[in-house]
Structure 1
Amino acid sequence: MAREPNGGVIARLGIAQTLAWGSTYYLPAMLATPMAHDLGVSTPTIFAAFSAALIVSALLGPSAGRMIDRAGGRPVLAATSIVFAIGLAGLGLAHGAIGLFAAWLVLGVGMGAGLYEAAFATLVAFYGNRSRGAITGITLIAGFASTVGWPLSTFMEAHIGWRGACLAWAALHLTLGLALNLSMPGGTLARAPEEAASLPSTPRQPVSPGVPSQRLASVALAFVFAATWFTSTAMAAHLPRLLQAGGASLATAVMVGALIGPAQVGARLLEFGFLRKLHPLFSARIAAALHPAGALAFGVFGAPAAALFGVLHGAGNGILTIAKGTLPLVIFGPDGYGRRQGVLMVPARMAQALAPWLFGMCLDAFGAKALWLSSGLGIAAMSMLMCIRQVDQPVEARMRTGLSS
């Protein structure tokens, strides 16, 4: 029989992803200020080092994906646990800007091969077309990375300092993270002949005239991922200040920020329960429209609509995170998924690195009207998704059978 996604594998990989995200992507928000003070650099310098790590992760993503396609995810993810530990230890031992940037560049290597794209590729390498539910499960668990990571980093910084916090995160990667990643199934569908022989033959269908070329679909998805990741990162960095610029109080801004995480998880539960019965393009199109819709409500009604804006933004971001894993699978199939995913995410990582700086400039210059930028990107992303038609029915039927199981 074809492999079915295993709940234990999803849980272990989800916990490992929570650790990876909480100790890297969500680290500067809590530790940047004490880190800058101790190292004698400005806070923007800390975020510049973080942006450099994102650029490194973008450049290494395609190579990491290709390795997972060939050998499966276990060796790659296990190696990233060690890389994360080295980078965090280096950060905790840094004594100036050079050590700071060197440590973040090492962390960038780990991020390029150890975050969502690698986890999704690991699942696809092992489960093939049946990975959609597993991808959603991973994002459901790791969606709490900031919920866990921010308080834990804050607690550790208060009791053992930011250096101790970095070293503690490194220790967690060498123990918990490494153990979880080593427990992943080995190999790929292509490397399991006894199982591959039992799989039904599913030859690749020719692209019909109504379906755009793979090149056009790739360009469209790369743009969609870059636009949505830009907005997601910009909101993560500037949401409280943005809401205050639009007339909301600080207390309201904090409350709205607290709503985004639950909104993301709630939307992912909806995707897992109902929307996964539909084609992923349908849910992605809806999700891309939610941020502009929330921004319109906030622009028209001001502070009373701040909570609605936060919920709609969070829900859209939650579903789009899943779409980043499922759309390449349903459109192109599992062959070469890891490499293709890495290539598609290069512009997104670059946009992510630029987002805090560029959106911050717009916010300084235009106030809440900076939402025109993020809303325009959301509308453009939705338009690009509308240009991608669903795959022809024979392939789609197979995908629904596999991805909905």
Structure 2
Amino acid sequence: MVAALAITSTVGYGVLTYAFSALLGPMSAELRISTTTAVGASTTAVLVSGLMSIPVGRWLDARGGRGLMASGSLLGAIAVLGWSQVQNTLQLYGVFVAVGVASAMVLYPPAFAVVVAVADPAARTKAILSITIVGGFASSIFIPLTGHLAADYGWRAALVDLAAALAVTTIPLHAFLIPRTTPAPRTTTKTPKTPARVLKDPGFWLLAGAFVVHSAALAMISVHLVLYLIGLGHPPARAATLAGLLGLLSVTGRLVTSLSARWLPMATITATVLGIQGLSISLLPVVGKHLSGAIVCLVLFGLGFGVSSIATPAILLDRYGADGYATISGILTTPVTIAKAVGPLGGAVVANALGYRDMVLTVAAGCLVAATALALTPRPSTTM
């Protein structure tokens, strides 16, 4: 099951999320729309995915993941196939509403919820780590793959191939290797926490605030980093290569985070990593003109790039237990996903008003604020 979820998460993120960037140029040109208009379709998908997080979480808690994830894979394949046939902006946005719904049904949050429901407590962290390590290579695989397919056969044909790959790979794995129903809840030492009671926990709002701010900061830097590095004097090819360090190092960061959890609480580890991120990216305007300086800053920043993927489920499980996990995760995922969607726009506003240097410093401040919020989050109370 873990191997299946690792594969489907990688293919799902690769096709439903990362392929877009490789097709943005030729698609916008053929449809005769601006890249800003085209990017709006991707933003729409992210927003829809966030809004679907709570109902998807409730379904997972009540009925398990097999039917939901298999249906989401089918919907995703149909949506990508429809994307290959769009002729105007309205059709493009309509297709990406479907992409957003499918994403909410098949990517990390539902995969983690299945692991929490099925795996023994001692094996959950290792299982989630395994999924995120493999999934961390989605961008490295699918962005160049999509680019080559588009260059050789055109962007529409590339999408037909990707839709077929998504269907053939993910539908059978979800349909046959995911448990049909959620097992009976396991006995735990924690008091079960219903979503309504969780919302009354001040610590939950500190956690939510930390991950929302951090997600917005990462979304800002992800979209605008290449342009900022070019502005610092790096050639475009080098700037793109340096930005690529973030995705590669996210896998290393997840490993370090998971290993450190043997000795320290996950919230403490995550706060430390986010603090390092904030400090390292704040130095980029100072030392980033030099290749070595840019590499050091981005290596340290990249170590925390994927930490929230493994930290969020671990922290929620530590604080609230497994009962109702998918719904609680969905409640947190909704604002976090919306932050990811609007972060690039916020970055563009800051960059246009104050310049890219201040945008980078805003990202640094966001990471430090998130680290502080996590550090101040009180430990869970068994009587809460």
TM-score by length of 1: 0.87
TM-fit CA distance, 1:300:
3.0
Matched, 1:353 2:341: yes
Q: Tell me the distance in 2 between the aligned counterparts of 1:254 and 1:50.
A: 21
Q: Tell me the distance in 2 between the aligned counterparts of 1:205 and 1:325.
A: 18
Match of 2:34 in 1: 42
1:339 and 1:292, CA in 2 relative to 1: closer, same or farther beyond 3 A? same
Letter in 1 for 2:313: G
Q: Tell me the distance in 2 between the aligned counterparts of 1:213 and 1:231.
A: 24
Match of 2:21 in 1: 29
Q: Tell me the distance in 2 between the aligned counterparts of 1:50 and 1:206.
A: 37
Contact 2:77 2:163 in 1 (8 A): yes
For residue 33 of structure 2, give the secondary structure of its aligned residue in structure 1: coil
Contact 1:140 1:265 in 2 (8 A): yes
In terms of mean alpha carbon deviation, does 218-227 or 13-22 score higher?
Answer: 218-227
Letter in 1 for 2:89: A
Matched, 1:53 2:39: no
1:287 and 1:189, CA in 2 relative to 1: closer, same or farther beyond 3 A? farther
Match of 1:215 in 2: 201
State the identity %: 27
Q: Tell me the distance in 2 between the aligned counterparts of 1:57 and 1:19.
A: 17
TM-fit CA distance, 1:101:
0.7
TM-fit CA distance, 1:206:
9.3
Q: Tell me the distance in 1 between the aligned counterparts of 2:172 and 2:366.
A: 40
1:111-152 Cα deviation digits (max 9, x unpaired):
122211111111111126331221111110000010111011
Question: What pairs up with 1:6-405 in 2 under 5 angstroms?
Answer: 9-127=1-119, 129-130=121-122, 131-182=124-175, 183-190=177-184, 201-205=187-191, 215-304=201-290, 305-365=293-353, 366-391=355-380
Q: Tell me the distance in 1 between the aligned counterparts of 2:218 and 2:148.
A: 26
Q: Tell me the distance in 1 between the aligned counterparts of 2:281 and 2:367.
A: 10
1:205 and 1:184, CA in 2 relative to 1: closer, same or farther beyond 3 A? closer
Contact 1:230 1:351 in 2 (8 A): yes
For residue 303 of structure 1, give the secondary structure of its aligned residue in structure 2: coil
Q: Tell me the distance in 1 between the aligned counterparts of 2:300 and 2:68.
A: 35
TM-fit CA distance, 1:264:
0.9
1:213 and 1:29, CA in 2 relative to 1: closer, same or farther beyond 3 A? closer
Q: Tell me the distance in 1 between the aligned counterparts of 2:27 and 2:102.
A: 21
Q: Tell me the distance in 2 between the aligned counterparts of 1:297 and 1:117.
A: 33
1:240-271 Cα deviation digits (max 9, x unpaired):
11223344443542332232222111111223
Which sections of structure 2, spanning at least 5 residues, go unmatched? none
Contact 2:41 2:96 in 1 (8 A): yes
Q: Tell me the distance in 2 between the aligned counterparts of 1:364 and 1:321.
A: 31
For residue 154 of structure 2, give the secondary structure of its aligned residue in structure 1: helix
1:243 and 1:273, CA in 2 relative to 1: closer, same or farther beyond 3 A? same
TM-score by length of 2: 0.91
1:185-210 Cα deviation digits (max 9, x unpaired):
332231xxxxx6xx6x4242499xxx
Name the count of aligned residue pairs: 374
Q: Tell me the distance in 1 between the aligned counterparts of 2:240 and 2:377.
A: 38
For residue 360 of structure 2, give the secondary structure of its aligned residue in structure 1: helix
Q: Tell me the distance in 2 between the aligned counterparts of 1:57 and 1:276.
A: 33
For residue 317 of structure 1, give the secondary structure of its aligned residue in structure 2: coil
Q: Tell me the distance in 1 between the aligned counterparts of 2:235 and 2:166.
A: 39
1:276 and 1:136, CA in 2 relative to 1: closer, same or farther beyond 3 A? farther
Contact 1:81 1:110 in 2 (8 A): yes
1:327-382 Cα deviation digits (max 9, x unpaired):
11111111111111111111111111111222022223322221221111111111
Contact 1:18 1:143 in 2 (8 A): yes
For residue 334 of structure 1, give the secondary structure of its aligned residue in structure 2: coil
TM-fit CA distance, 1:277:
4.2
1:251 and 1:93, CA in 2 relative to 1: closer, same or farther beyond 3 A? closer
Q: Tell me the distance in 1 between the aligned counterparts of 2:365 and 2:221.
A: 14
For residue 166 of structure 2, give the secondary structure of its aligned residue in structure 1: helix
Q: Tell me the distance in 2 between the aligned counterparts of 1:301 and 1:367.
A: 15
Contact 1:83 1:106 in 2 (8 A): yes
